[in-house]
Amino acid sequence: MILLQISANTGPEECCLAVRKALQVLLRECADAGVNVEVLEAVPADKPGNLRSVLLALDGQAAAGVALRWRGSVQWNCASPYRPAHKRKNWFIGLEVFETEAPGEAHAALRDKDLRFETLRASGPGGQHVNKTDSAVRATHIPSGLSVKVQTERSQHANKRLARALLEHKLAALASDAAQAARAARWLQHHGVERGNAGRVFRGESFTEIFKAPDAHSEI
């Protein structure tokens, strides 16, 4: 799955209209390529129907190719439909691609085959109450290398169950941190639309494409 964000940045309402029009073209391209699209987030603009930004999830064999063809700056050449006397005719929006994990992947990572359990003797303070048998458990999530040690219970089985739960909690926290970092990256993209060097150029209220960037060969 690939995340693709279309943003008007801090541009005027004309740029928000360009986001709306670009989204329509993108959805048609995805349909033609057999790419499934889901709108994850949509920030409305001042005028009904226009969008300040929209975040899409693209899924399918051709998703990467479609995303790469749109990545970068997009130019719309058109007289303002809102301000007829305005001299500006070039409006820019930006599109950026973000990697993502498949839904549920973090939970799927807690499969038994991805976990390694070791038993060891409990250590540390506790006097006569500390475990004297090899009932302490160290659990390691092999794909990430994350490890926890649990010795609070006298039963090895109970410590194993607690270690698994603790690992699940720590992995969920890591996933949350990664999601926050991804949201921060998407927010920064709102403020990074490059004006000029457009990869694709559209003209007129019909949003007709007059320049398309060549197919990209780099991978996402």
Architecture of domain 2-103+190-212: 2-Layer Sandwich (3.30)
Whole-number Å distance between alpha carbons of 104 and 124:
37
The whole-chain average pLDDT of the chain stands at 80
Give pLDDT tens digits for 105-153: 444 447 888 889 988 876 654 444 444 556 788 889 888 888 888 775 6
- Check: CATH 3.30.160.20 for 105-176? yes
- The residue extents of the domains of the chain are 2-103+190-212, 105-176
Give pLDDT tens digits for 179-207: 666 666 665 555 555 566 778 999 999 99
The predicted model scores a pTM of: 0.58
Secondary structure (DSSP) of 53-90 = EEEEEEESTTHHHHHHHH-EEEEEE---SS-TT----E
Coil, helix or strand at residue 49: coil
Out of 4-18, 160-174, 188-202, pick the least confident. Answer: 188-202
Task: Give 158's contacts (C-beta < 8 A, 6+ positions apart).
Answer: none
Strand partners, 202: 76, 209
